[in-house]
Amino acid sequence: MSPSQPPNTSDSSHWFSSYIKLRFFTRIRRLLRLTASNKQHTPANQVIDTDTNMERESDCEGGLVILQRAVKRLHFGSWGEKEAAAEEIRRLAKEGLKTRKSLAELGFVPPLVTMVGAEDGGWTRRRAAVRALVELANGNYTNKAMMIEAGILSKLSENVDILEESTMHEFAQLLLSISTLANNQFPLTSSMILPLLVGILESNSSIETKESCLGTLYNLSTMLDTAGSLATNAVVHHLLRLSLAKETSEKALATLGNLVLTLQGKKAMESNSMVPENLIEILAWEEKPKSQELSAYILMVLAHQSSVQREKMGNLGIVPLLLEVALLGSPLAQKRALKLLQWFKDERNSRIGPHSGPQRRRIAIGSPVSQRETNEGKKMMKNLVLQSLYKNMKTITQRANIGDEDSCSKLKALVISSSSKSLPY
């Protein structure tokens, strides 16, 4: 062809197509060699005979045929063939992290995502695609990001009523795996995930499935950008309800602990009828120290600068329970309980101090007599409060069969010394 003649378009297309096929089959051969090496680990000092080499080459050739068939079926096959291809990809993905990476590079992720959203494919076939994606996502950040870019969040069904338990469980597993992207500040749209998560939590799904949903909510709540939109009344309600189940309590409370730090989350919790009663009930779980610590933390955030919440807590009898936690709880729970007790003591002093005792004539501010009487009044009130606290602690000590005077004395000293009003714990 002379330089003046235009290039042949058909030849260029043929050359490009051949190049793509060559790259594709090169990747397949690399994947098959990797799979074969995962299956057979030969010591360095062991001689590999010719027959073994021939067997490995035969395995690679056979694997090449399998992968070629899987690619063809996944893209162009019937639904039955697509399901078989998805199962084959799932099996290969279990080989290891490098294999999962290579499978994604071969372009298997987008057609599997499309298969998940195909309503005419039937749930059995869609479940096969979800299972394959779960394996491909295992421990691989890039593969999870590829699933997000392929639109997996919009493909998952929001209508939980039509899902079987096994399907819900697999959906929950996939969401949990993808949600770990939040730990790397990968942008995730929680509004696309919430309907399915809330639907599963409302259903009669198993504890294992609910735990996967709670794990997803927790991962999303660690991102400040999404925590606010996550804190809907429905989500907070289900988290509070699951916090009372000892199997799911810790993860539910940890998620609430993240949400309560947002304005939306705090408002949703304050308006819920289960607050603070549920949290106070959890505070009494001596056999679940982590739940005690998380409950005390949430109560601290709610009570901080909120006389309304402190009044609710006081009416529900939180003070004796806090004294018990301050004496018998874990070190962290003790610190949080003492902080709450300090706030209740300060509030009681400010409320009843000016009105207690006999009223005397007013004296001009700044006179020596007024200052002396003020100091005496403060000293008297402090002694009364300390006596009351000490008496309650002594009662709790006796009930816990701890007759050690040192325990009460040490705790008394801790209560007196805890004066900061910040939230350090």
Question: How far is it, in rounded angstroms, from Cα 388 to Cα 130?
Answer: 61
Q: What is the CATH number of domain 64-152?
A: 1.25.10.10
| Neighbour-count burial of 420, counting CB atoms closer than 10 A to its CB (0-12 exposed, 13-18 middle, 19+ buried) | exposed
Estimate the crossing angle of helix 331-352 against helix 405-417, to 10 degrees. Answer: 60
Residue whose entry in the numeric block shows the structure tokens 């101090």: 353
CB 171 within 8 A of CB 137: no
Res 183: pLDDT:
82
Res 363: pLDDT:
36
Res 71: pLDDT:
81
Question: How far is it, in rounded angstroms, from Cα 129 to Cα 122?
Answer: 11
**Is the CA virtual torsion 261, 262, 264, 267 positive or negative?**
positive
The number of beta carbons lying within 10 Å of the beta carbon of residue 4 is 5
Res 424: pLDDT:
45
Map out the domains of the chain as residue ranges: 64-152, 163-271, 292-350
Question: How far is it, in rounded angstroms, from Cα 54 to Cα 73?
Answer: 29
Question: How far is it, in rounded angstroms, from Cα 231 to Cα 238?
Answer: 11
Res 303: pLDDT:
95
Question: How far is it, in rounded angstroms, from Cα 160 to Cα 183?
Answer: 27
**Smallest Cα–Cα separation from 93: which of 73, 112, 78, 118?**
112
pTM: 0.73
**Is the CA virtual torsion 422, 423, 424, 425 positive or negative?**
positive
The fold adopted by the segment(s) 163-271 is: Leucine-rich Repeat Variant (1.25.10)
**Tokens in use for 293?**
């610590």
Residue 195, preceding bond cis, omega within 30 degrees? no
CB 278 within 8 A of CB 316: no
Res 4: pLDDT:
45
Amino acid identity, position 425:
Y
Task: Say whether 163-271 and 64-152 share the same fold.
Answer: yes
Question: How far is it, in rounded angstroms, from Cα 338 to Cα 24?
Answer: 65
Res 232: pLDDT:
93
**Smallest Cα–Cα separation from 290: which of 237, 238, 343, 331?**
331
Average pLDDT of adjacent 10-residue blocks, the chain of 425 residues: 46 44 53 54 46 47 67 87 93 91 90 90 88 95 94 84 88 95 83 90 94 96 87 95 96 97 95 96 96 97 92 94 93 95 86 48 41 62 66 66 53 50 46
Question: How far is it, in rounded angstroms, from Cα 32 to Cα 26?
Answer: 10
Total residue length of the chain: 425
